[in-house]
């Protein structure tokens, strides 16, 4: 099996390396015709405005939209999430072109600038159930977006509590949830809708390949000829730790 990785800018090399650890070849995609050689695609994190300009320069948007409409599995991480969203807020003047297909509204720089990058331990029950390993995932957020609203067909895979200043912002429509500590506000950071997977964080920057394995199983479920030998990550699983602050 070969998985396409959009290689215009950003962390495409890290995705290719993660796929290689699972015994899968990652094919770098830079031109529309190259999409014909793959049956699934990863859109990596990076600078979304720059990636959009390069995609427009190479006339990639029509081919990418057709790829999504054909039902082929596509996973967007960070900037890739923005690309897949039907609607994006918090954009620069003039905005940027989107691929669309994912029924959600994304806030482009919800968590702040580069220096406000952080790590957080996310409960991921559906990922742990399908891929094994711990019940949480150590997620790396770098100048990250967040999902503010989702449509009825979107399955939420992970969310995160937000800081008080975000919760008090009248321009943000945040979800409220009741827990053991009372009411709190949260935003969604990982979703699945049909053939589309999206994460606001960067699984490719960790040693935990469960999200990549989960995506490969989506390829198999869509019936695009994925190898049935791709197995869940079990006891050999490792977590990546760095000294970034955990978002409170």
Question: Residue 200 is part of a domain; what is its CATH number?
Answer: 3.40.50.880
Q: What tens digit of pLDDT does each residue of 227-239 get?
A: 333 333 333 333 3
Query: What per-residue confidence (pLDDT) applies to 248?
Result: 36
164 is in an annotated binding site: no
Burial status of residue 168 (CB atoms within 10 A of its CB: 0-12, 13-18, 19 or more): exposed
64 has a pLDDT exceeding 60: yes
**Residue 156 falls inside a structural domain:** yes
Between CA 124 and CA 179 the distance in angstroms is 17
Q: What is the pTM of this model?
A: 0.82
**Residue 173 falls inside a structural domain:** no
Q: What tens digit of pLDDT does each residue of 104-154 get?
A: 999 988 998 778 889 999 999 999 999 999 999 999 999 899 999 999 999
| Number of domains comprising the chain | 1
Average pLDDT of the segment spanning 165-188: 52
222 has a pLDDT exceeding 80: no
Between CA 245 and CA 50 the distance in angstroms is 27
Residue 169: which pLDDT band, with cuts at 50, 70 and 90? low
65 is in an annotated binding site: no
φ, ψ for residue 120 (rounded to 5)? -150, 145
Q: Provide the annotated active-site residues.
A: 78, 202, 204
Query: What per-residue confidence (pLDDT) applies to 60?
Result: 95
**Residue 137 falls inside a structural domain:** yes
**Residue 170 falls inside a structural domain:** no
52 has a pLDDT exceeding 80: yes
Q: Which of 30-39, 44-53, 75-84, 130-139 has the lowest mean pLDDT?
A: 44-53
**Residue 115 falls inside a structural domain:** yes
Q: At what angle do helices 61-69 and 48-57 cross, to 10 degrees?
A: 100
58 has a pLDDT exceeding 80: yes
31 has a pLDDT exceeding 80: yes
**Residue 192 falls inside a structural domain:** yes
Give the Å distances, CA to CA, from 38 to 67, 148, 188, 213.
Answer: 10, 31, 29, 17
Query: What per-residue confidence (pLDDT) applies to 91?
Result: 66
Query: What per-residue confidence (pLDDT) applies to 236?
Result: 39
Between CA 5 and CA 3 the distance in angstroms is 7
Domain that holds residue 111: 2-165+184-223
**Residue 233 falls inside a structural domain:** no
Q: What is the residue-averaged pLDDT of the chain? A: 83
196 with 121: CB under 8 angstroms?
Answer: no
Residue 166: which pLDDT band, with cuts at 50, 70 and 90? low
103-135 exposure pattern, b = at least 16 Cβ within 10 A, e = fewer? bbbbbbbbbeeeeebbbbebebeebbeebbbee
Average pLDDT of the segment spanning 62-77: 96
**Residue 12 falls inside a structural domain:** yes
Q: What tens digit of pLDDT does each residue of 80-90 get?
A: 999 999 999 97
10 is in an annotated binding site: no
143 is in an annotated binding site: yes
């Amino acid at each position: 099996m070969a998985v396409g990785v959009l290689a215009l800018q950003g962390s495409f090399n890290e995705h290719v390396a993660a796929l290689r650890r699972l015994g899968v070849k990652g094919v770098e995609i830079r031109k529309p015709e190259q999409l014909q050689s793959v049956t699934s695609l990863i859109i990596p994190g990076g600078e979304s405005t720059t990636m959009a300009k390069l995609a427009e320069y190479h006339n990639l948007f029509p081919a990418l939209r057709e790829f999504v409409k054909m039902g082929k599995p596509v996973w967007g991480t960070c900037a890739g999430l923005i690309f897949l969203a039907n609607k994006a807020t918090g954009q620069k003047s003039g905005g940027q072109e989107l691929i669309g297909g994912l029924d959600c509204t994304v806030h482009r720089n919800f968590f702040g600038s580069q220096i406000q990058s952080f790590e957080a331990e996310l409960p991921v029950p559906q990922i742990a159930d399908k891929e094994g390993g711990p019940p949480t995932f150590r997620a790396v957020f770098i100048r990250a977006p967040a999902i503010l609203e989702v449509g009825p067909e979107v399955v939420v895979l992970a969310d995160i509590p937000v800081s008080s200043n975000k919760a008090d912002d009248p321009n943000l429509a945040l979800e409220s949830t009741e827990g053991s500590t009372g009411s709190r506000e949260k935003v969604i950071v990982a979703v699945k809708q049909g053939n589309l997977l999206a994460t606001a964080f960067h699984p490719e920057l960790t040693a935990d390949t469960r999200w990549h394995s989960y995506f490969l199983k989506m390829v198999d479920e869509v019936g695009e000829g994925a190898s049935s030998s791709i197995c869940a990550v079990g006891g050999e699983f490792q977590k990546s730790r760095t000294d970034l602050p955990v978002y409170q």
